[in-house]
Structure 1
């Protein structure tokens, strides 16, 4: 909390006092905020903003305590609370800019409540407000970018079910110092083995993102709603974090056979879920 500047720090402290978003509820809360923005009169272009397009006070925040993050002797986490603003307005604006650049004209016209170019200008302005700031949540649809697994210790996977057993959550948590160290090593190895593009580029961008945060903060990798598409047998068979770390080790030692076998296993596991993007 102490790493945030005023007035955001006070807004986040108020949000924490009023009750942070539970991890199981984060996806549902985002959907609810978006739906409320669309049924408002007049409709808002983005969730988390007033009718005139101004940002509302930050109310959506997730919280961790330092003791919830596995640490070793070389990493410090805290003091708590560790707070993560969900940044829904900015993330929605970035997604909207991407949608407007890729969607067909009839689809763009059907989903917008104002002219396309006006929506593009307003969303781009919100994205511009993020420049130089730390976006606290990065997300991906239908699959997890494989380079993200290097941030975490494979042995620290957490599988938790809701009290009624209807929802599951898969996540890893790591001290920021450990995550930065792992990404830096993987980036160096990938650059030597693969060049500057592909996974190397993702690792470079991820490392730069991590540098925006306080060195005593933490990072969490979470499957989000994707885990609801996974059966118990899928979760038992999921060795993604182990495979990615083994690939980095194998690239460093020059073991091309190990790299190929591990990558094939990852491709087979994740291709089923990635295919849903085409179905949708």
Structure 2
């Protein structure tokens, strides 16, 4: 499949689940098997560009009229695993959160109320025949939610510096069973050590989401477009998953000082990212 554009769309980071081909019912299973044999599969940048392209027409398109037939694919121990884009579904879900994330004037300028209402109605009608639908991809902008790092370990970190023609990559990949186990263990520690807050709430939410997928799935945390706005040195030194794990372990053993040090490293690292966001 040809690439949409060479222009880089930065800032977005992703949490993805790749399910084994056997987890998909027919005829979708056959579709993905054929799809994976294509010589030129699209990248995450292509997926994001297509989503943003919907905002260009007048009036803008809040969610695609048709669901995407594209996916990310990979092999795990010789087994083909698929992460469907489901761009339409994710567009609907994102719309439900915009009221809390954007000031009203900005929201109205980007997506007028009539467009949002029509999209919400389309989603409600679609849910009547697809009540159990869930996305395979979660996205955040400008920073990785800290509770995502709980799912992975520093040993699973992969960083490639890239070249002039090849973009850098920073990602983690872990088996689903490991991700679920880490969520459960961390929740026990956090609930014993602190009051419920954003970290616990985020873990509960992502834990429920992971339970929706095949146990032999692969979980991927991908810095995505964020690698294009952070200096190479910052990326190379970024071991946020290790800091999160050390902080939670310190809480488990009652070492408040060590937990505070780990948290301070995280705050300092991601403050620099937020500063770049403000500058843009």
Category of TM-score, reference length = shorter chain: 0.7 to 0.9
Cα offset for 1:65? Answer: 0.6
Cα offset for 1:181? Answer: 0.8
Structure 1's unaligned 5+ residue stretches are: 50-54, 68-78
User: Which residue is equivalent to 1:27?
Assistant: 45
| Pairing partner for 1:6 from 19, 26, 32 | 26
User: Which residue is equivalent to 2:71?
Assistant: 61
Cα offset for 1:225? Answer: 0.6
Query: 1:215 and 1:239 mapped to 2: Cα distance?
Result: 27
Cα offset for 1:123? Answer: 5.8
- Matched residue SS, 1:10: helix
Cα offset for 1:88? Answer: 1.4
Distance 1:42 1:193, change over 3 A: closer
Cα offset for 1:203? Answer: 1.2
- Matched residue SS, 1:62: strand
Distance 1:149 1:41, change over 3 A: closer
Distance 1:192 1:42, change over 3 A: closer
User: Which residue is equivalent to 1:45?
Assistant: 62
Distance 1:198 1:34, change over 3 A: closer
Query: 1:128 and 1:117 mapped to 2: Cα distance?
Result: 16
User: Which residue is equivalent to 1:18?
Assistant: 38
Query: 1:117 and 1:40 mapped to 2: Cα distance?
Result: 15
User: How does 1:256-271 map onto structure 2 within 5 Å?
Assistant: 256-271=256-271
Aligned length: 259
Give TM-score scaled by structure 1 length: 0.81
Residue 135, structure 1, aligned to residue 161, structure 2: no
User: Which residue is equivalent to 1:254?
Assistant: 254
User: Which residue is equivalent to 2:9?
Assistant: none
Aligned alpha-carbon RMSD (Å):
2.7
Per-residue CA shift, 1:136-180, capped at 9, x if unaligned? 011111111112112112122111245644511100111111111
Per-residue CA shift, 1:171-226, capped at 9, x if unaligned? 01111111111111011111111133321111111111111111111101111111
Asked if structure 2 preserves the Cα contact closer than 8 Å seen for 1:134 and 1:213, the reply is no
Cα offset for 1:63? Answer: 0.8
Asked if structure 2 preserves the Cα contact closer than 8 Å seen for 1:109 and 1:116, the reply is no
User: How does 1:103-142 map onto structure 2 within 5 Å?
Assistant: 103-112=102-111, 115-116=114-115, 118-122=117-121, 124-125=123-124, 128=127, 131-142=131-142
Distance 1:100 1:2, change over 3 A: same
User: How does 1:176-215 map onto structure 2 within 5 Å?
Assistant: 176-215=176-215
- Matched residue SS, 2:22: coil
- Matched residue SS, 1:269: helix
User: Which residue is equivalent to 1:81?
Assistant: 80
- Which of 1 and 2 has higher RCO (CA within 8 Å, sep 6+)? 2
